[in-house]
Every structure is written in structure tokens, then in C-alpha cells.
């Protein structure tokens, strides 16, 4: 077998298009759209209705992306996103958030890192101009609308969904039908593969342990026993917690074969520290997801306070498996976005952050922040969130914390070091994307 046999996807570059191409030429590439839709977009550009054109093209592009993702299986998509609420009956159009779809598209290699950044910027602009509180004097520029059009067309609307690759389905099938040894070519490949390939293999196996039966379940139990020791040293803390939670789930469900196979694997890696005493963390993680849903959706400043209050009411002790999700969600509210922040949600967010112990802050800074893509991007690319990050760090007592030197460059309240904080965040973000 080839040592790259388990690699689930190879990133695709968008098809070339001249930098000087005008909207009518770009729209012609959108073969997924009807001729009527193409004509409507061109007419909107010609009449200067840039916000309307961008909103329309964005809705078509994100729908095409979600349809592509659903072809992998909604339960599998849920596992990749850490969403236990997603299953095969879930509707991809309504149940996957736009920001989640874009994140997964980048990780899967469906879009390049550069294109993903352009798409996120486009998403932010579209949501900004949908806000009824935006002054009527503020208008989207034609160049901004053209950039959104180009990214949406070349990445998601230039080819029919049926042509989309489905390598994850092949990966799942392979792991269902064979039990691999720990010295196989596939195991050796996992030692050097990009991190997303490792995480994908783990997610496939954990999903099978929870849902498969018969021979498929036996292969999954054998494969987790063989491959988890290879993957474990490279797994991030959040994925180790996912493994421990899966063990608690299959044991509680009396799935004997699954729990026995995963138990042996966890014993090999001394991984029982990541098995929760209860699944209390599910409540915290669900509440954190609701906060993120509000933050990245339309009219977020108005919608963030309610889910933020729900999260803050869950208790004063945050379970370890939920820490990563809670940090990301609350810091998104605290830092805001390029347009500002939800003032109504700040008191609750600050209340929640005060519950976090210095040791938990230290753990976040050293272990979680370097892989927290959402927060790194806010610090690295957005001026207002960066300023608020410096303000927040200035309010913390850092004397009790031991922070790794590279990470420490981001952990300062000194505004004179703003450029260093930004460059360091960009460096961590770029490294993270290279690993995936």
C-alpha cells in the first residue's frame, strides 16, 4: 500500500481568471447558475446595486458549498465540526452555519488558505451591509462586490456539485473493511501527514465506534487500537477530549466491542485523563456553539446577549472538555469583529471570563490559543479586535502564569507592542493552516 493511501483530500487551486476580468466575464464561469440568475447579477452590477448582487451571489455560493459538504454525510460533518446535534436527518442549509462551512472547506482543501481569507472577508462585508443599523450613506464599493463575486464563482459555482471529489467516503470505506497494523504504510503515513489528515482518520474511527455494527465495528475497534498510539502524540487537546468522550458514550451505551477496543487503545497511550466523569461538558459546549452561531450570523450585536447569558448561567466550574469551545465563544464576544462589538453582551462575557482561573488562562494561552483559528484571525487581521485583545490582556494578572516564550509575544497589554502581537498571531495562524 502507498503511504499516502489515507490522505483524504488534495487542495485545489481555483481556475485561473484574469485579474482584470469584469463581472460579466466572471459570471459566465458560474455554470451552476441559471442564465436568468447570471443576467440578474450583471444587471445589478451595471445599476450599482452592489450590496444586492453580493448578497445574492453569496447565498448561492454558500448553498452550493453546504450541498457539497452534505455529500460526505451529515453525521460525519457533525463529527468534524464537533457538533453532536448533527445527524443524517439534519438539513445542511439550515443546520450548518456559514462560518462552519467555510472553515471545513478550507480544512478539506476545497479552497486554498488565501481564498478562504477572501471568502471570510466577503462574508463579513455581506453581513455588515445587511445590518439595518448601517447608515444609508455607507455603500459597498464595486471593487468589494467584484472580489466577492470572483471568490464565490471560482470556488463554488464554476463546477456542478456532482463533480466534487468524495475522498472521505473512500477513506471511511477503507477503515470499515480492513484492520490495519501499527506498522502498516498507513500508520507510518499518519506520523508525518498534515494534522487534518490525522484528525480525519480519528474522526472516522470514533464515528464508526459509535454507530457501526458487525464486521465494520470489529474493524473500527481493531483500527483504533492500532492507530491511536500513532496519532496520540500529535493530537491536540480538544481531539484527545473527543476521544475520551467517545469512550464514555460507547461504554454508557453498552457497546461492548467498541468500548473494549477503545479502552485498550487509551490504556496504551495513558489517555484516561481525557475521559470525563460525566458528560456535563455537553451542556457547556452546546451553549458555546449557540454563542458562536449568534456571533457569526446576521445582526450579531443584537443576538449575542441571550446565548451569552445562557452560557454564563451554566455554572462556575467549566469542565475540561468544554474549555476550548467556551474560550473561543466568549472571546469572540469580548473581542467583537471589524465593525465593533455587542455592548449588551459585554457584561455577561466579562463575568464569565472572571470565573476562569489563572491556571485555566495559562492552559489556554499555552495549549489552545496556538490552534484557536478564530481568535488568531481576529488578533492577526482585525484592528478593533486586536485593540480589545490588548485591553483584555491588560486586565489579567499574568504574574501567576508561566507562558511559553513564543506565545508570550501575544500576551501583553502594552499597545506599543501591538505590531509584534499581530505578527505573532499571523505566524501561528499560518502555521496552523499549513498543518491542516
> Are residues 344 and 228 both part of a single domain?
no
Q: What is the DSSP letter of 141?
A: -
Q: Among 28-42, 72-86, 263-277, 338-352, which stretch is predicted with the lowest mean pLDDT? A: 72-86
pLDDT at 165: 47
> Are residues 375 and 402 both part of a single domain?
yes
> Are residues 322 and 416 both part of a single domain?
yes
Q: What's this model's pTM, rounded to 2 decimal places? A: 0.63
Q: Is residue 187 situated within a structural domain?
A: yes
Each residue's pLDDT tens digit, 189-217: 788 777 877 888 898 899 889 988 999 99
Cell numbers found for residue 27: 459570471
Each residue's pLDDT tens digit, 246-285: 999 898 888 999 999 999 999 899 888 888 766 567 778 8
Residue-number span of the structural domain to which 346 is assigned:
282-435
The more confident residue out of 8 and 43 is 43
Q: Is residue 145 situated within a structural domain?
A: yes
Q: Is residue 41 situated within a structural domain?
A: yes
Q: Is residue 83 situated within a structural domain?
A: yes
> Are residues 262 and 297 both part of a single domain?
no
End position of a domain, from candidates 229, 256, 274: 274
Distance CA 35, CA 26 (A): 13
Cell numbers found for residue 95: 443546520
Each residue's pLDDT tens digit, 132-177: 887 778 889 999 999 999 999 988 898 765 444 455 666 777 888 8
> Are residues 241 and 287 both part of a single domain?
no
Q: Are 75 and 211 in contact (CB under 8 A)?
A: yes
For the chain, the domain total comes to 3
Q: H or E stretch including 151?
A: helix 142-152
Q: Are 411 and 404 in contact (CB under 8 A)?
A: no
> Are residues 37 and 142 both part of a single domain?
yes
Distance CA 115, CA 14 (A): 8
Question: How long a stretch of residues is the chain?
Answer: 436
Q: Among 194-198, 234-238, 351-355, 421-425, which stretch is predicted with the lowest mean pLDDT? A: 194-198
Mean pLDDT of the 38-42 span: 95
Q: How far is CA 289 from the centre of its chain?
A: 11
Q: Is residue 248 situated within a structural domain?
A: yes
> Are residues 346 and 382 both part of a single domain?
yes
Q: Among 7-21, 242-256, 301-315, 389-403, which stretch is predicted with the lowest mean pLDDT? A: 7-21
End position of a domain, from candidates 132, 163, 194: 163
Angle between helices 343-355 and 305-312 (to 10 degrees): 20
Q: What is the DSSP letter of 417?
A: G
Distance CA 132, CA 266 (A): 52
Distance CA 335, CA 392 (A): 9
Q: Is residue 98 situated within a structural domain?
A: yes
Amino acid at each position: 500500500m502507498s503511504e499516502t493511501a489515507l490522505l483524504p483530500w488534495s487542495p485545489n487551486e481555483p481556475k485561473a481568471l484574469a485579474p482584470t476580468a469584469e463581472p460579466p466575464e466572471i459570471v459566465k464561469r458560474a455554470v451552476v447558475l441559471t442564465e436568468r440568475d447570471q443576467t440578474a447579477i450583471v444587471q445589478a452590477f451595471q445599476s450599482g446595486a452592489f450590496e444586492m448582487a453580493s448578497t445574492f451571489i453569496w447565498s448561492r455560493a454558500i448553498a452550493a458549498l453546504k450541498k457539497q459538504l452534505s455529500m460526505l454525510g451529515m453525521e460525519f460533518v457533525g463529527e468534524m465540526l464537533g457538533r453532536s446535534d448533527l445527524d443524517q436527518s439534519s438539513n445542511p442549509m439550515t443546520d450548518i452555519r456559514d462560518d462552519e462551512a467555510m472553515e471545513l472547506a478550507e480544512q478539506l482543501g476545497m479552497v486554498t488558505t488565501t481564498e478562504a481569507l477572501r471568502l471570510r472577508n466577503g462574508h463579513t462585508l455581506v453581513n455588515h451591509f445587511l445590518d439595518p443599523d448601517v447608515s444609508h450613506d455607507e455603500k459597498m464599493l464595486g471593487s468589494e462586490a467584484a472580489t466577492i463575486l470572483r471568490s464565490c464563482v471560482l470556488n463554488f459555482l464554476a463546477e456542478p456539485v456532482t463533480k466534487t471529489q468524495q475522498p472521505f467516503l473512500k477513506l471511511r470505506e477503507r477503515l470499515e473493511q480492513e484492520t490495519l497494523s501499527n506498522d502498516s504504510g498507513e500508520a507510518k503515513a499518519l506520523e508525518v501527514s498534515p494534522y487534518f489528515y490525522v484528525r480525519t482518520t480519528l474522526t472516522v474511527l470514533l464515528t464508526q465506534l459509535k454507530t457501526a455494527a458487525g464486521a465494520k465495528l470489529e474493524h473500527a475497534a481493531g483500527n483504533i487500537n492500532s492507530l491511536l498510539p500513532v496519532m496520540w502524540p500529535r493530537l491536540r487537546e480538544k481531539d484527545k477530549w473527543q476521544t475520551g468522550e467517545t469512550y464514555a458514550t460507547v461504554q454508557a451505551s453498552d457497546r461492548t466491542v467498541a468500548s473494549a477496543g477503545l479502552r485498550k487503545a487509551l490504556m496504551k497511550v495513558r489517555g484516561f485523563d481525557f475521559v470525563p466523569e460525566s458528560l456535563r461538558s455537553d451542556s457547556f459546549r452546546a451553549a458555546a456553539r449557540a454563542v458562536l452561531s449568534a456571533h457569526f450570523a446576521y445582526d450579531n450585536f443584537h443576538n449575542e446577549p441571550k446565548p451569552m447569558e445562557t452560557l454564563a448561567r451554566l455554572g462556575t466550574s467549566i469542565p475540561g472538555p468544554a474549555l476550548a469551545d467556551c474560550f473561543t465563544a466568549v472571546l469572540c464576544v469580548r473581542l467583537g469583529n471589524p465593525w465593533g462589538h455587542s455592548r449588551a453582551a459585554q457584561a455577561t462575557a466579562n463575568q464569565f471570563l472572571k470565573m476562569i482561573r489563572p491556571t485555566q488562562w495559562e492552559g489556554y494561552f499555552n495549549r489552545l490559543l496556538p490552534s484557536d483559528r478564530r481568535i488568531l484571525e481576529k488578533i492577526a487581521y482585525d484592528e478593533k479586535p486586536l485593540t480589545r485583545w490588548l485591553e483584555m490582556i491588560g486586565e489579567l494578572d499574568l504574574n501567576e502564569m508561566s507562558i511559553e516564550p513564543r506565545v508570550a509575544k501575544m500576551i501583553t497589554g502594552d499597545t506599543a507592542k501591538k505590531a509584534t502581537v499581530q505578527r505573532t498571531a499571523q505566524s501561528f495562524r499560518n502555521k496552523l493552516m499549513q498543518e491542516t
